[in-house]
Every structure is written in C-alpha cells, then in structure tokens.
Structure 1
Amino acid sequence: MKDLMLSIIIPVYNIGPWIDRCVESVLPAVPENGEVLLVVGNSFDDSNTRCETWEKKNARIKVLHQSGRGLADARNCGVVNSRGTFLLYIDGDDFVDTAQLKWLLGQLENMDSRVQVVMTDYRMTDTSGSLIEEINQIGSQIAFSEDQSLLLQALKKKKCFWNVWRYLYRWDFLADNKIVFLENTLSEDMDYTTQVFAAQPVFAFAHCPFYRYCIGRGDSLMDRPSLKRLEDTVTHCVSGVLRMKETDAPYVSAFVAQYQFEYLLNLALCVELPEEDQQAAFALYRATRSVLREGCDGTARLFSYILHICPIPILAETFHITKMLKRVFKGSHRRTMIEKGY
C-alpha cells in the first residue's frame, strides 16, 4: 500500500506534564507526509501553550481547537480535519515506543490494500514508563499477518481489546460506515469498537506492542471510579452485546463473551463508589443482569443464575476483594521480577 498517509490524533486537556513526552516519542516515527493533530480543549494548565510551541517547531504538527468538550468530541474533531489514509489515536498522557511504531508503519507500505483495521498488542506501564503488564492477545509469534482467523484467537483471550489506540483505522472505512465517537459519555471506546467490529472490517495483526498505556496518574479519569463511569460502561456492555448479536460476524460469540466478562468485572466497582451512589449501582446491575443470558459462554450463564439468586451487594464485595488480592499478587510478582533483573 504505497504512498499511504498517516494521521495521528492526540486529544490534549490538562496534561501539561505529559504531552511533551508523548509528542517526542511519536514524532520521529511519523513519515514526512504524515501529520500529528493535537486537539486542544480549554485547559487551565500550560497544555495548550506547549502544543502551540510544538506546532511552531515542526510542520507535521497541527493544533486544532475542539468544537465542543470531552475526549469523544476531540477525537471526532481530529478525524474531520485529518488527511490520512490511516488514523491512529493516541492519548496525550501515554506514549509510544518510537522504533516499534516506525517498524509497524513500515509494514503498512506492503500490506494488502483491502485491509481496513490493524490490531496490535500493547504494554501497560506506570507513569515513569516501567512495565506493569504485557497484553499479548495476538502473541509474540505473530510479527505481522493478514490471517483473519487470528481475530477469533485474540478475542478468546480475556483481555481488554476495545481501547481504540491499539488499532490503526483506514479513514474511508470509518467514513463509509459512519463510525464516530459517541459524545457526552464515558468508556466511549467500547461503543466505538462495537461499531467497528459490527461493520466486519478486513483485519491485519501485528504483535508489535508500540503503545505504552500509562496508569496510576491519579488525576486521570480512569483512576477515579464514579457512578457515571459505571453506568456508561454497563450501558456500552449491554448495547454492544445486543448490537453484535444482530450481525453474522464469525466472531460474535467471542465478542459477546468479552463484553459479558467486562460487565462482571465492573461489578466490583459498585462497592468502590461513594456510599451514596452504591444503591443506584446495585439497582443498575439488577436491571441489566439478563445480558449474561445472551450468547453461549458458560461462565456468563452461570453468573446470570448467581446474580438472580444471590444478593448483588455481597457479590460485588466478593468481586472487590478478589480484585484487590489479584493486585497484591501482581505487585509482588512484579517486584520479584525486578529483583531478578527481568
């Protein structure tokens, strides 16, 4: 696929301490005909000033001002103003491995022109960039492949696959299928990914874990549980399951099982919310638990039965305790690996 052009869309809002690292990691990988679109909102720190400085320093960087508010609006604004054959979304408080991204973009030049979406693996890090976890749904044995059967294999691994920054999207595929980010909602990546998968694109797959997803910033939306986030996540889980079941995609069952699994995982958040919001959270799960009856996943059906006979607050507390124990184990395992020099 010669002469393709890449547009990288980076929303920017109150991330002054992080945006320079992000741009510095991205820019060396961008071809001369590519563009980096910094979509700024009404930040009250120096984020916008930093972006304007970058725009003056490099012709491939362009600063755009949002037409509205929120992450979804920023991304939609970037898409409307982009010129690329392919789009890549990056969050401004994350960063990339420059060499890996450059390698991946090089693979696109010889890729089948029918490919519409490229799926990659990624790595979770802390704010310093130290590795927390490798997410290998594609697997290190796959450098780059257009074998469509790999999608089903990846979806069967219970890992988060709907983060939009782990994909490259062909612009005309998004336009032809009218795929946009749903605004005024949280966890919008889930709705967006449902739209993408329901359109049944032609995929390519690359293990290449170029993306570094940073957690633990503290003031990030993802670090703050809220009733709004739980409500929107559950809504996207339910709507995603129902929408996918209307398609004839060969990966429907695996997709549905993944969203049902995420639905169950979020049950733990019910007891992590402020006390005044917990009853509303429990009511939300009582009203939506029938989603676990959709599809053919045995675990989901079992928990559908359990949610109908056991008090939801008790189940939520059990999930929460399990989640905390898992974090302790992961932290201990990580410290051991560091001590051994891995």
Structure 2
Amino acid sequence: MTSTRPDVSVIVPVYDCEPWLEAQLRSVLDQEGVELEVIAICDGATDGSLAVLESIAARDARVRVVKQENRGVSAARNVGLTLARGEWIVFADGDDWMKPGALRSWIGHGREQGLDVVIGNGFGFDALPPAVDPQPMYAGQPWGEICSGTTWLERTVPGDDWVVCVWLQCVRREFVEKHSLRFEPDVVHEDIIWSLQLALRVQRVGFVREPFYGYRRNPLSITNAPSPAAVARRAAGYLRVIDALVAAALDPRTDRHLSRILLRQANREGGHLLHLLRKRLHDDALRKSVARQFLRSGHFRAMLKGATNASEVWRALRCWRIYTRFAM
C-alpha cells in the first residue's frame, strides 16, 4: 500500500460473488490516471470469494481485504468508510464492472468544479464484454450544472430520475467525515436513506453524463432473492425508507416545496412496497404484519399529501384499501 494518500478509496462489499469478482476488481485496479486503494470487505461469504480476494491482494498491494461475519452490506460499507484514506470515496459491488477512465473522469470533474459529490451514470449488462455503446441508466440529471443537494432532489424526483445508486456517487471523504455519514445497518434499500442524507447536506453536486459504471443484472442478487425471509426484509426496508422520507419532509427546517418533493418520493416508495406485498410476499402473517405497520405509521396520509397528479392520488388510495384488507 502506498504511504501517500490515495486519490480514491474504492469500497467493495463482497458476499458470494466469486464468479464475477476477479473481473470486477480488475476493472477497478486497471483504472488509469488515479492513485487508488481498494477496501474489500468479505461479509461472511460462503463461496470462494475470500480466496479470490486474498489471491488478488497477494499480487497487488493496493487491495486490502477485511474478513467479517455476515453483517450485511451496510455494515460492510461502514467498515470501508472507517478504513478509507483516499481524498474521494467510491462504492462498487462485487459483481459489477467499471469502464476505463471512470475514476479519472469523476475525480477530475470533482476537483475542477470544487464539488463535494459527483453523480455519474451507469448501464445495465448481463455478461462481459458489455455493449460498446450501452444505454445509459439516467437521462434527466442536471448535466453540465452545479447545484445543491436539495435542488438536485427538486430537479430529479418529479421525473423519477433521482440517483440513489451509491455506486454512481463519488463523494469527497472530508465531506463524509464532516457530516458523520454512515449507512443504516440491517436495512435493505439502504442506498435511498444514504442518498437522502447526502442530498440534504451537500451544497455542490456535479454530474458526469457518460455511463462509466456497469450494473450486472444478477438474478442471484439480494434484491432478487425469492425466499419469504428475504422478501420480508425488503418490505421492512421500504417501511424504513418511507419513515426517513416522511421525517425529513416534516422537519420544521424543511421548506414547503422540498417537503412536497420528499413526500412525493414517499408516495413512490409506498407503491413499490404495495407491489412487493401483492406479488412477492405470500406469507399471510408477514403480509398482515407489514400492512399493520404501514397503517399505524400514518404513511397513507403522507402518500396522499405527496400526490401531485391523479395517478399518485390513486396509488395512495390503493395502498390504503389493499393494506386495510391485508391487515384484517
């Protein structure tokens, strides 16, 4: 490991991604024009992921491997944040892939514009090599502009284009430490809560349009796990996300326009939760428990308050009607 401060710390939580891990790390380590460190947290992997990490670390001193019992992706990322030494922090998942020039472009833009957060762009892929000219994931960011985090929310939430994927966020480490930003443990969809805290605090956000980050459409990922326990955890995660959005919206320091924006996002997340309960969660007892939590929390009123069109009003009303039926 170099004794000088790296330009960037790349934090990689690793859990059972052995088939794709070497290609992912190679795509990071081959990034040119930046001094980097990779902090790979093996989060209780049950496959050969740890052996892959240790083999790569033995050949490349820039890779630091941390082994821990399975505590979840949030806890793994928090370990990485504690250990990071770089000027910038970037997150990457163990089954994804990064195009050449990604880190140089993001960090260069951040330095040139005096930013605290750089929002990149990505693309989905099924296998390597990806398409030469892949379809970007995001189209509606304020490309070429510099704005505050709250303006970023106001510009992107209405079009369902808010970037909550942490692997598209390049964040100045000094900013993370100043605001004591960490991921909330034991919560699925933790990216949304992290991105909310980021947006509410940052004053200078910039954007890089080119899709540099490849997101593997992996049917074995946590969000695609079909087990009742995994789906129940996702449902609990949506409840926590809605809690966080509503709490921020109702904070006395939040102005009226931003409050409405946050409640609109809560309306959208309520719809995601409804889809999960109707299509994926088939355990009646678990479904009843989630529905009752939703109704007790008053989230229906928040969703209705955040509705700005007939479709969003209908979404809130459907949530109330269906959750009431589930709760009986």
Indicate which of 262, 268, 275 corresponds to 2:283.
275
- 1:126-165 per-residue CA deviation (whole Å, 9 max, x = no partner) reads 24565685322445x93x4424556533333214521211
User: Structure 1 residues 223, 129: CA separation in 2 closer, same or farther (over 3 Å shift)?
Assistant: farther
Pair 1:7-2:9 in alignment: yes
What CA distance in whole angstroms lies between the structure 1 residues aligned with 2:34 and 2:59? Answer: 14
User: Structure 1 residues 204, 314: CA separation in 2 closer, same or farther (over 3 Å shift)?
Assistant: same
Aligned residue in 2 for 1:56: 58
287-296 or 36-45, which deviates more? 287-296
Q: Percent of aligned pairs with the same residue?
A: 20
**Contact preservation (8 Å) 1:76, 1:181:** yes
Report the CA distance between 1:98 and its aligned residue: 1.9
Aligned residue in 2 for 1:300: 312
**Contact preservation (8 Å) 1:7, 1:83:** yes
What CA distance in whole angstroms lies between the structure 1 residues aligned with 2:308 and 2:68? Answer: 41
User: Structure 1 residues 101, 253: CA separation in 2 closer, same or farther (over 3 Å shift)?
Assistant: farther
Pair 1:259-2:266 in alignment: yes
What CA distance in whole angstroms lies between the structure 1 residues aligned with 2:232 and 2:201? Answer: 31
- 1:284-311 per-residue CA deviation (whole Å, 9 max, x = no partner) reads 4434322203446334344334444x44
TM-score (norm 1): 0.79
What CA distance in whole angstroms lies between the structure 1 residues aligned with 2:283 and 2:40? Answer: 38
**Contact preservation (8 Å) 2:118, 2:170:** yes
Pairs aligned (count): 307
Structure 2 counterpart SS, 1:135: coil
The one-letter code matched in structure 2 to 1:126 is D
User: Structure 1 residues 13, 304: CA separation in 2 closer, same or farther (over 3 Å shift)?
Assistant: closer
What CA distance in whole angstroms lies between the structure 1 residues aligned with 2:61 and 2:71? Answer: 26
> Which stretches in structure 1 are left out of the alignment for 5+ residues?
316-342
Indicate which of 102, 105, 111 corresponds to 2:104.
102
**Contact preservation (8 Å) 2:270, 2:319:** no
What CA distance in whole angstroms lies between the structure 1 residues aligned with 2:116 and 2:34? Answer: 22
Report the CA distance between 1:75 and its aligned residue: 0.5
TM-score (norm 2): 0.82
Report the CA distance between 1:6 and its aligned residue: 0.8
Structure 1 counterpart SS, 2:194: helix
Report the CA distance between 1:35 and its aligned residue: 0.9
**Contact preservation (8 Å) 2:110, 2:206:** no
286-295 or 189-198, which deviates more? 286-295
**Contact preservation (8 Å) 1:231, 1:284:** no
User: Structure 1 residues 47, 181: CA separation in 2 closer, same or farther (over 3 Å shift)?
Assistant: same
Aligned residue in 2 for 1:33: 35
- 1:100-141 per-residue CA deviation (whole Å, 9 max, x = no partner) reads 4433333334232xx2111122212224565685322445x9
Report the CA distance between 1:83 and its aligned residue: 0.5
Report the CA distance between 1:238 and its aligned residue: 2.6
User: Structure 1 residues 200, 293: CA separation in 2 closer, same or farther (over 3 Å shift)?
Assistant: farther
Structure 1 counterpart SS, 2:101: helix
User: Structure 1 residues 41, 311: CA separation in 2 closer, same or farther (over 3 Å shift)?
Assistant: closer
CA RMSD of aligned residues (A): 2.9
Report the CA distance between 1:99 and its aligned residue: 3.0
User: Structure 1 residues 259, 97: CA separation in 2 closer, same or farther (over 3 Å shift)?
Assistant: farther
Report the CA distance between 1:184 and its aligned residue: 1.8
Structure 2 counterpart SS, 1:91: coil
Aligned residue in 2 for 1:20: 22
The one-letter code matched in structure 2 to 1:118 is V
